[in-house]
Chain A
Amino acid sequence: MNNNTNVLEVNSICVDYAASNGTVHAVDNVSFTLKRGEVLGLAGESGSGKSTLAYAISRLLRPPALITQGEVLYYQRKSARDLNSMTQHDFKSTPQNAAESSDAIEPVDILKLTQKQLRAFRWQELAMVFQSAMNALNPVLNLEVQMTDVLKAHRPDMSKDERAARAKELLRLVGIAPDRLRSYPHELSGGMRQRSIIAIALALSPEIIIMDEPTTALDVVVQRDILTELLALKDQLGFSIIFITHDLSLLLEIADKVAIMYAGKLVETASSENLSEHALHPYTYGLLHSFPSLHGPRRKMTGIPGSPPDLRAVPPGCPFHPRCHFAFSACKTNVPTLLNTDAQMQQHVACHLYDATLNPAGPPASLAREALPNADSYDYAQGTAMIPVIRKEKLS
C-alpha cells in the first residue's frame, strides 16, 4: 500500500450562504491535501466554517449554501475495488497521461459528479460521521436494520445472511458484542451508539471518513477509548480521516496534520508536532495557550482577547487583526494568503508577519519561540473593548 499518495485534493474551494442581508462567505478559498492513511485535523471555533467545509467536500450542502468555486479531486485506488465493478464504470475517469507507476490513479472531481455517480461515491469512497452522532440513529429501528440498510442500498448482490454477517463483523470491529445487533438505540449507552455509528460508516470500507465533532458529547474516558480504537482501525483498514473538532489539545494527540480555520479561511497548516512546538500564526499560538496544561508550573494564561467575528461582517484585511497582538498596518488592508514558510517543514501560514515584503523586520521573537506576549500585564479592558468596534459595522 502506498501511503504517500494523495487521496483527496481540495483546491481553492469557496462556499457562500445566501442570506437575506447579504452573502456570507462561510468557506473562503481553502486548499489542502489528504494523504492515504493520514489523520487530518481541522480545528476552529464555532462558526469558523469547518463543518461547512466538510459538507462541501461530501457535496451535502443544500441551498442557501452554494459552492461558488474550486475543485475537490478524489484519487481513486485502482487496484482495490474488485468488489464493486458495477460502480467503477460510473466514474468517467479522465485518462491520465503520466501513468508511470503501475498504481496510477485518476482523479475525479467530486464537485462535478452526477447524482448517480455521487450516490456511488458516497459511503463507498467517503463516509461521514456527523456531529451529535449519538442522535443520528433512528430510535424505532434496531441496529441490524440500520446497519444492513447501507449494504442493501450499495451492495444489492449481497444476500440477507451475508448482510447480517457483515453487520456482526462490523460491530465486532468497533468493540460491541455482536449479540447487540437486535438492540434498539435506547438500549445502548452513548459510547456504544457512537461506536455503532462508526461501524455503519465503515460498512463499505471507505477510503475517507469525515468525522464532524464525533466525540464532543462523550465523557473523556469513553472518548479516549473510542479514539484509540478508531486509530487502530485506521491502521488496520488503511482509510484516511478528516477529524473536525474545536478541541486542539485532543487533535494534537491524534492527528498527523492539523489545519486551523478562522473566519472561513485556513490560517495555518502543519504537522501536529510542528504546530505544538512552533505555531506560527498568532491565532494558533493563542489557541495553543488557551487550554491549561496538566503538567508543569501553573502560570497565568491569557487566551485570545475579543470574540470570533460575525461572518456577515468579517473585518477587512486579515480577519484576525482586531484580536491580534501583533497586527500592523498591512493587516488591516491586505488579506493574507497561505505562505509556505519552509519547504521541509511543510508548514503553511497565512500571516503578514512572515511576509518579507510587508514585514521586513521578520516575525516578533516572542512568537517565534516560547514566550507569551506579556501575559501578566494584559489589560482586560483593552481586550474586550475591541468587540464593539467589530460589531459597529454590523449594526449600522
Chain B
Amino acid sequence: MSAEKHTNGTTASIMNEAITRNEPLSPGTILLEAEHIRKDFPLGGFQVGKLGAQRAVHAVENASLTLRAGFATALVGESGSGKTTVARLLAGMYVATSGSIRHRGVTVRARNEGELRAYRRHVQLIFQDPFASLNPVHTVGYHLGRPLRIHGHIHTDEEEHQAILSLLRRVSLYPPEQFIEKFPHQLSGGQRQRVAIARALAVQPEVLLADEPVSMLDVSIRLDVLNLLLRLKNEEQLGVLFITHDIASARYFAEDTLVMYAGQIVEGGPSDEVIQHPKHPYTQLLLSAAPDPDRMKTHTQQSLAIPTKVARSEPPSLINPPQGCRFHLRCPKAMPVCSERFPARTDLGAGHWTHCFLYGDESTTSKEVAAPSPLQTNLQEGA
C-alpha cells in the first residue's frame, strides 16, 4: 500500500486551504483496477435438495473496470443489476469471491481493520440516501471532524476548525461557519448530500465511488450537486465511479460508461460512443426506454413503444441466473450459443467494446438472427 502523501503538519494556512495534496496526481494515472471480480452472496438457511451445492445470489460476475485520475466512469444499469455491489467491492466493504482489485498497481488485501483503514484513506464511498447516511444526533462539524482525526490529517482543535471550514467551502456550503453547528435535520437534501461529499473528501481520497449520488434529490438541485462533483473531479484529479440508472446523466458526467445487466458488464467505452451508437441489445433497449423530451409525444405512439417481446420480461433472478449471456432470455437477437456461454469481449474500435456474439467471438458471426429459444417463448407466454 503506498502511503506517500498525507504527512503534512503545516496545514492550517491563512489561505483557508487547510487541506492540500502534497503532490497533485497527473491526469490519467491508473488509480484503481478491478479485474474479473465476482461476488456471490451465499444464501443462508436450511438447504433442501442439491446436497453440497451451496445456493447463492450471483450478484456480480466477471466485472473489470479501471478508474483513472481526473476521469469519471459511469456504471449504468437497472436496480438489482449489481451496480452497488461493485461499488462496495471497490470500497472494501465486501470481499470479492474471486478476482482482484489493484490500487496503484498493488493488489488490495484488506485483512484487518488497519489495512482497511489505510485503503479507505484513498478510496471513499458516497451513498445514495443523504437522509440515511448522516447520523441525526451529530452536527455537521462532528461528521467532518471524525475522518480528519481518524486519518491523522489534523492535530489541534484549531486545525480541525479550519479544515472543516475549508471542506464546507469546497462543497459550496456558504457561509461555512453557520453550517458547522447544524444537525442533519436542519439541512435540505442537497445540503446533506454536500455534507456527505465533504465527509468523503475529508480523508483526501484519490478515488470517489458515488453510488447514485443525486437520485434521492429534487430535480432542480440534482444538477448543482452533479456539477459540484464534476468540479471536484476536474480540480483535484479524483478518479470517480459514478453509479446511476439514468443514462443521460452518465453521458453528462462521465467520460466512460459501462452498462451492467444482471451482474454482467455487457458494454463499455467512451460515453458518447456507447450512448450514440449502442451495440449490445440491452444498451439499445435501455436507451429506447429512457425518457427523452426530444422524442415528443407527437411523434406517434410508435416511437414510444419498444418491442413488446423485449419489454414484457424482466431481469432474471440472480439466484439461478440463466447460463451464458444473462440477457439472452429477453434478447430479440438471441442465438443458441448465447445460452451456452458468456461471449468474450469484442473491441469495436475507439475504446468501445461489448460482450455480444453479434459482433464477434469466433464462429457465430455468420448467423445473425436465430429462432427464439424455447425458454424465451415460455417467458412470453407466462408474462
Chain A residues at the B interface, C-beta cutoff of 8 Å = 45-46, 175-177, 189-192, 219-225, 227-228, 231-232, 246-250, 252-256, 272-273, 276, 283, 286-295, 298, 300-308, 380-381, 383-385, 387-388
Contacts and interface: CB of A to CB of B under 8 A. Distances in A.
A305 B288 CA distance: 31
A290 B290 contact: no
A380 B228 contact: yes
A247 B304 contact: no
Contacts of A190: 314
Contacts of B191: 307, 387
Interface of B: 78-79, 172-175, 178, 188-191, 218-224, 226-228, 231, 245, 247-249, 251-253, 272, 275-276, 285-298, 301, 304-306, 308, 310-312, 314, 381-383
Contacts of B272: 298
B296 A273 contact: yes
Contacts of B189: 307
Given A221-B306, A287-B220, A291-B223, 18 more contacts: A176-B383, A220-B78, A227-B304, A231-B304, A246-B219, A253-B296, A254-B297, A255-B297, A286-B220, A288-B293, A290-B223, A291-B222, A293-B294, A303-B221, A307-B220, A308-B218, A384-B173, A384-B174
A45 B191 CA distance: 16
Contact of B311 (A224, A293, A307, A385): A224
Contacts of A308: 188, 218, 220
Contacts, number: 171
Contact of A380 (B172, B218, B249): B172
Contacts of A220: 78, 245, 286, 289-291
A276 B175 contact: no
B249 A292 contact: yes
A189 B290 contact: no
Nearest to A310: B188
5 contacts: A220-B291, A231-B304, A249-B292, A292-B223, A294-B290
A292 B251 contact: yes
B219 A294 contact: no
Contact of A191 (B245, B290, B314): B314
A289 to B, nearest CB: 8
Contacts of B308: 225
Given A290-B223, A380-B228, A219 B245 contact: yes
Contacts of B227: 300-303, 380
Given A301-B252, A307-B188, A224 B306 contact: yes
B305 A228 contact: yes
B49 to A, nearest CB: 21
Contacts of A292: 223, 248-249, 251-253
Given A175-B312, A292-B252, A387-B191, A219 B220 contact: no
Given A220-B78, A225-B312, A293-B294, A248 B289 contact: no
Nearest to B231: A380
A276 B226 CA distance: 23
A253 B304 contact: yes
Contacts of B305: 228
A228 B302 CA distance: 9
Contacts of B175: 385, 388
Best-surrounded residue of B191, B224, B226, B308 (most CB of chain A within 10 A) = B224
A302 B221 CA distance: 9
A211 to B, nearest CB: 16
A253 B292 contact: yes
